[in-house]
Structure 1
Amino acid sequence: MFESNRVRRESALASLRRRLGGFAGVAALSTLFVGGVLSTTRAVATTTVGRWFCVAAVVLALELGWTARHLGRNRRTGEALFTRLGAGTLVTLGRGVLLAWVAAFVVVDWPTSTALLWIPAVLYGTAAVLDAVDGALARRTDRVTELGASLDLEYDALGVLVACSVGVVAGLLPVWYLSVGLARYAFGLGRYLRRRRGAPVHDLPPRVSRRLLAGLQMAFLAVALSPLVGPAVRTTGATVFGGALLLGFARDWLYVSGRVGDDAPKPAEHAVD
C-alpha cells in the first residue's frame, strides 16, 4: 500500500512538473513579447530594455524555482496530491509573472516624461486585482491547496516589495518607504532567529485588519506608481498607509514574541499585609 501511494505521488509530481514547465514556457515567451513592445517605445532605450529583460527573467526563474520545490503541497490538507494546477493557482502564478515585469522597472532610466509610469502602474494594479480573484476562484472550484495559499502570501509580500522599490527608484516615494516592502521579510527573519535560539514563537491571533491593511497598501501603490497623483499626495499616502502597515507588523511582533496576548508574562502579585 505504501509503495502504491509513493508511485501515485511520484506520478502526480511528474504531471505537475510538466504542467509547470509548460507555464514557464508561456511566461518566457510573454516576457520576450513585452520586452519587444518596450523596445518600440521612445521612452525606453534599447540598452535599458536588455537590462529590463534580464531582471524580469531572474525574478521569474526564482518564482518558478520556488514553485517547483513546493509542488508536493499541491493538495488539500491531509489529502493526496492533485495532478493538475488548479485555476486559482494558475491565476496566482500569472500574478507572479506580472510582478516579475514590475520588478524589472528598477533598472529603467526614468525619463522626464511621466507616460512610462503607466506601464508598471497598470501591471501592478492588475496583479493587485488578481489577488482578489485567485482565492475566490480556488474556493469556487473547491481547489484551495497548501501550494496556492503559500504562493498567495509570497506574492503579496513580493508585490509590495517590488512596487516600493520601483516607486523609490523612480523618485515617486521616499527612501524610507522601502522599509514597508521589507517589513514582512524582516518579520519572518525575526521569527526564524527566535526559533534558532530556542525562544518561544507564539501564534498570531486572527485579525481582519491585516488583510485590510494589505489591500489598502496595494491600492495605494498602484495609484502612487501612476501619474494620477502629485508628490504631496504620494508623501501623505506613504505616511498614512505605510505607517499603518509598519505599526501592524510591530503589533504582531509583540504577539509573536509573547510580550502581549494570552501567553504574555503576568506581573507578579504582591501580598498585602
Structure 2
Amino acid sequence: MSAADRAMPDAAATLAAYLLAALWLSSLSASGLVPQLAGVCAGALVTAAAVGSVLRRIPRFSTPADRVTLLRAVLVALCAVVAVPQLFTGRGPDLLLPVLGGAAFLLDGVDGAVARRTGTASPAGARFDAATDAALVLVLSIAAAAVAGPWTLAIGGMYYVFVAAGFFRPHLRAALPPSFSRKAIGAFQPLALLVSLLPGMPLPAAFPAVALVLLTLSFTRDVVQLEALHRSGMLDGGLARTGPTAR
C-alpha cells in the first residue's frame, strides 16, 4: 500500500485505538461520570488534531514515521483521559499517568529516526511531530498543576502563545538555525513534568520551576533573534517554524 493509500487506514486505526483504550481506562476510574466524560473529550481533541494533521495534507500521505507519531498522539490523548478527571477530584496522580507520558516521551526520538532511515522525512512530518510534543507538554502541565500549582500551565501554554503571536507578527513563524540548547530545553520540559508526577515525589514543583525558567529564556532568545533578523531584512519569511523538538 502506498503512502497516499495509507492515510485513511492509519487515521481510522488511530481513532479506533484511542476510543477502545479511553473507554477501558474510563471503566477503571472511580472519579464519576462528568470527570470521565471530560477526560475522554479532552483526549478526543488530541486524537482529532493528530488525525487531522495527516488528513489535511495535500497530497494526502502517511509514512512509517507518521504512524509512530500517531501512536505517540494516542498515548498523549490517554494521558488526558487520566489527568483531566483528577482536576475534578483533587487527587494526585498515580503511576499510570507517568507511565503513559513516559512512553510518549521515549517514542519522541523514534519517529525522527524512522523518518531518516526510510527516507520519508518531510516538513509536514516535522510539524506533526512538534505539535505532538507540544500536546504532551500541555497535558502534563495540566496534570502537574494538581501537585505543583496552576503556574505549571505556563509551561504547556507557552508554545501556543508563541504560535498565536505568529499570526500577528508573521516573521515569528520563520525558521531559526538548528540549536542544540533549544532541542535540549524542549526535551527537558516533559521530563521535568513527568518527574513531578511520580507518586510520593518530594518538592514536586522543583523540576517544573527549572523547566519554566529555561523555556522562558529559550523563547525569549528566539523572539529577540527573529525580531533582529526581521529588522535587518535578513529573514526569509517563507520558511515555517517547526518548533524546538521537530524531527
- The TM-score normalised by the length of structure 1 is 0.74
Aligned-CA RMSD value = 2.8
CA distance in 1, matches of 2:60, 2:213: 35
Higher Rg:
1
In the other structure, the counterpart of 2:16 is: 25
2:102 and 2:194 in contact (8 A); partners too: yes
Q: Which amino acid aligns with 2:182?
A: R
Q: 1:137 to 1:159 in 2, by over 3 A?
A: same
1:73 and 1:145 in contact (8 A); partners too: no
1:68-79 map, 5 Å: 68-70=55-57, 72=59, 74=61
Over residues 96-128 of structure 1, what are the superposed CA-to-partner deviations in whole Å (9 max), with x where a residue is unaligned?
A: 11111212322333465x5x4212111111100
Over residues 203-228 of structure 1, what are the superposed CA-to-partner deviations in whole Å (9 max), with x where a residue is unaligned?
A: 42321111101111221111111114
In the other structure, the counterpart of 2:48 is: 61
User: Among residues 90, 111, 130, which one is paired with 2:107 in the alignment?
Assistant: 130
Q: 1:110 to 1:118 in 2, by over 3 A?
A: farther
Q: Which amino acid aligns with 1:136?
A: A
Shift of 1:246: 0.9
Shift of 1:95: 0.8
**1:243 partnered with 2:174:** no
CA distance in 2, matches of 1:201, 1:123: 31
2:193 and 2:207 in contact (8 A); partners too: no
Number of residue equivalences:
231
The share of aligned pairs that are identical, in percent, is: 29
1:71-90 map, 5 Å: 72=59, 74=61, 85-90=62-67
**Long gaps (5+) in structure 2:** 235-247
Q: Which amino acid aligns with 1:152?
A: D
Q: Which amino acid aligns with 1:58?
A: L
Q: 1:15 to 1:94 in 2, by over 3 A?
A: closer
Q: Which amino acid aligns with 1:238?
A: P
In the other structure, the counterpart of 1:4 is: none
Q: Which amino acid aligns with 2:213?
A: G
Q: Which amino acid aligns with 1:214?
A: G
In the other structure, the counterpart of 1:211 is: 183
1:1-273 map, 5 Å: 13=4, 15-36=6-27, 38-39=28-29, 44-45=31-32, 47-70=34-57, 72=59, 74=61, 85-104=62-81, 105-108=83-86, 109-110=88-89, 114=92, 116-168=93-145, 170=146, 172-195=147-170, 203-230=175-202, 232=203, 234-258=204-228
